[in-house]
């Protein structure tokens, strides 16, 4: 999963561009290489393919069409699907728990439950959606790369070479949220990383991701994570 940034993934048959929010299924036994565009952060999970397909048998097709379709199509070439921005924080939290337990002895049943929880996040009704229109991917890449800028819908439309109505319609169609909601989720995720990886104050972290008003930043952050920035930081400090 691409957590932040963008990269070009090369494989036996060609290459594909992966941006933040893309989940890429790679088949074992084949070579792949990455060419990141600047700084890129990824999370990699190695899951036994037999186990994955056995679990997928219990998932209704209507619950996760993109995920199941990707599993069925996954051959020698990588397959990509995009997650809803609403789901990314949940998936990152699930990955973080899985990474944390590697440092401690846990029962096989506990490990199985955590992997099942990860699949549960992926199969939520709005979790997996198609890669979508290339124009949307271009606009998404712009917001990801320049998330800290004071965006307006007009400015984004100009940068993405689309009209206001077109960009709003395509975001709703392919991502199920507005451009403003996407930007809020992106900034909140970046701010969450700063809260956990630096000693920055909430106000400083908010400014670095493009929110100049700390009160507005706290409200926006809570809408994404369900916690204030201070509560989010304390919760993760207590669990570490």
Say which CATH superfamily domain 134-239 falls into: Homeodomain-like (1.10.10.60)
> Could you report the per-residue pLDDT of 174-204, keeping only the tens digit for each?
777 899 999 998 899 889 889 988 889 999 9
Q: What distance in Å separates the CA atoms of residue 53 and residue 56, rounded to the nearest whole number?
A: 5
pLDDT at 221: 94
Q: Where are the domains of the chain?
A: 2-129, 134-239
pLDDT at 240: 56
Across 64-68, 82-86, 229-233, least confident range? 64-68
pLDDT (tens digit, 9 = 90+) per residue, 23-60? Answer: 888 877 778 888 887 777 787 877 776 766 676 666 55
pLDDT in tens, 106-150: 666 666 666 666 666 665 544 444 445 678 888 888 998 899 999
**Percent of the chain topping pLDDT 90:** 26
Residue 10 burial by CB count (10 A; 0-12/13-18/19+): exposed, middle or buried?
middle
* CB-facing half-sphere around the CA of 187: CA atoms within 13 A: 30
Architecture of domain 2-129: Sandwich (2.60)
Residue 79 has pLDDT above 80, yes or no: no
């Amino acid at each position: 999963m691409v957590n932040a940034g963008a990269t070009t993934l090369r494989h036996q048959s060609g290459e594909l561009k992966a941006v933040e929010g893309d989940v890429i299924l790679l088949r074992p036994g084949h070579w792949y290489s990455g060419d990141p565009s600047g700084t890129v952060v990824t999370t990699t999970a190695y899951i036994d393919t037999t186990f994955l397909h056995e679990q997928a048998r219990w998932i209704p097709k209507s619950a996760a069409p993109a995920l199941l379709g990707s599993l069925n199509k996954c051959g020698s070439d990588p397959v990509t699907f995009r997650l809803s921005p609403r789901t990314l924080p949940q998936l990152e939290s699930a990955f973080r728990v899985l990474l944390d337990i590697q440092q401690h002895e846990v029962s096989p049943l506990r490990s199985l439950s955590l992997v099942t929880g990860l699949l549960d996040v992926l199969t939520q009704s709005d979790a997996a959606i198609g890669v979508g229109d290339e124009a949307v991917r271009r606009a998404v890449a712009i917001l990801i790369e320049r998330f800290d800028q004071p965006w307006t819908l007009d400015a984004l439309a100009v940068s993405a070479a689309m009209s206001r109505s077109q960009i709003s319609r395509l975001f709703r169609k392919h991502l199920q949220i507005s451009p403003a909601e996407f930007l809020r989720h992106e900034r909140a995720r970046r701010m969450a990383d700063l809260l956990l990886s630096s000693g920055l104050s909430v106000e400083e972290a908010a400014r670095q991701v493009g929110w100049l008003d700390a009160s507005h930043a706290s409200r926006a952050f809570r809408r994404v994570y369900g916690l204030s920035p201070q509560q989010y930081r304390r919760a993760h400090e207590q669990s570490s």
